[in-house]
Amino acid sequence: MMVAMLGVVQYHLRLGDTVWVWRFGGLPAMDLRQMRYFLAVARERNFGRAAQRLHMAQPPLTRQIRAIEEELGVELFVRTTKGVELTEAAYTMVEEVENLLALAERAEERVRSTGHGLAGHLDVGVFGSGILNVVPRVMANFHKLRPDVTIGLRNMSKADQILALRERRLNVGFARLIPSEKDLGIEIVRREPVLVALYDGHPLCEKVEITVRDLDSQPMILYPTFSMTGLAQMVAEAFRRGRAKLRVEQEVEDAVTAIALVSSGFGLCVTTESAASLRLPGVTYRPLRSTHMRDIEMSCFYRKDDRSPVLRAFLEVVRDYAASTV
């Protein structure tokens, strides 16, 4: 903020015990305490009343105002028998000082809020069916508690999320089957039952639950098609252990595409409870009964060295949500 009457551009903010000064020009900067002294006298038009308002004796206040006038080289107050009158310079200074004090108070509040995780920004990565159920619920709970924290949602594969975390482009990610890494913290948010998505009219719709042997040689749609271990690899392993033939009719990258293909009658799909919330027409869901694939976890992961108060607050919400779904 420019203080034009002083011939100097300066910013001077005191946050707790720290003083931040931005000053350009040859004149010394006033601190916030002196600004408040000046503003009290300007508003009260009387040194005695201003001193009472500031809870201080009048002589020190008078000396402070004189020091400000000497420092700036201008007269701010004209003394009268009833008190003081403001000079033109003082009227200009009132406007600038009010702005600077408001800026300082706003900055202090923002710093305090950010330090307690009440304000700031959080970049969240997500991929797959988690965005259909778990992640929105966690984010909604967090937003209710921290409405001043802005959230950036990034749709990224698991591998891309891990890279983005390490490059500090993400604060936290959501995915399944996160590999154990020394620098990553992992929190299981929820274990979801595994379902089979069937197109209406398929004979297996008549069953209450589906086994892996029931899916032997059935046209299957697998997702996601990435090199890292995920649901597709779990399905393949369950078929191998269950001595059933896995007939891969189509591989796709995400749950939405997979369920849409099921809806069209293209094939069947092993998926998660979250994906069932899509409710596409022509799709029936049945539980998968398998000793090798009972459920699959949705986890959040983050850098262990990230000390962000906003991240800590977010993880508290994640843990509360996880505890509520056990």
Query: For 262-284, what is each residue's pLDDT tens digit?
Result: 999 999 999 999 999 888 999 99
pLDDT > 90 in the chain, percent: 63
Section 92-104 average pLDDT: 85
pLDDT surpassing 60 at residue 14? no
The pLDDT value recorded for residue 6 is: 42
Task: Say whether 124 sits in a helix, a strand or coil.
Answer: strand
CATH 1.10.10.10 boundaries in the chain: 2-115
pLDDT band at 220; cut points 50, 70, 90: very high
Range of lowest pLDDT (10-14, 140-144, 178-182, 221-225):
10-14
Section 221-235 average pLDDT: 86
The residue among 154 and 16 whose pLDDT is bigger is 154
DSSP class of residue 29? P
Give the separation between CA 317 and CA 63, rounded to whole angstroms: 53
Section 67-87 average pLDDT: 89
Section 54-58 average pLDDT: 92
pLDDT surpassing 90 at residue 318? yes
The pLDDT value recorded for residue 20 is: 40
Q: Phi/psi at 62 (nearest 5 deg)?
A: -60, -40
Burial of 277 (0-12, 13-18, 19+ CB in 10 A): exposed
At 75, the amino acid letter reads E
pLDDT band at 111; cut points 50, 70, 90: confident
pLDDT band at 71; cut points 50, 70, 90: confident
pLDDT band at 29; cut points 50, 70, 90: low
Most confident range, picked from 2-6, 69-73, 139-143? 139-143
Q: Indicate the average pLDDT of the chain.
A: 87
The pLDDT value recorded for residue 116 is: 63
CATH 3.40.190.290 boundaries in the chain: 120-326
pLDDT > 70 in the chain, percent: 89
Section 177-184 average pLDDT: 93
The pLDDT value recorded for residue 325 is: 83
Section 130-136 average pLDDT: 88
The pLDDT value recorded for residue 22 is: 39
Section 224-228 average pLDDT: 76
CATH of domain 120-326: 3.40.190.290
Q: Are 89 and 4 in contact (CB under 8 A)?
A: no
The residue among 225 and 253 whose pLDDT is bigger is 253
Q: Are 177 and 230 in contact (CB under 8 A)?
A: yes
Give the separation between CA 167 and CA 235, rounded to whole angstroms: 32
The pLDDT value recorded for residue 24 is: 37
User: What are the distances in angstroms from CA 201 to CA 261, 265, 267, 284?
Assistant: 15, 9, 12, 9
Residue at token pair 């001043």: 148
User: What are the distances in angstroms from CA 120 to CA 58, 123, 157, 254, 318?
Assistant: 42, 10, 25, 31, 18
The residue among 115 and 255 whose pLDDT is bigger is 255
User: Domain 2-115 is of which CATH architecture?
Assistant: Orthogonal Bundle (1.10)
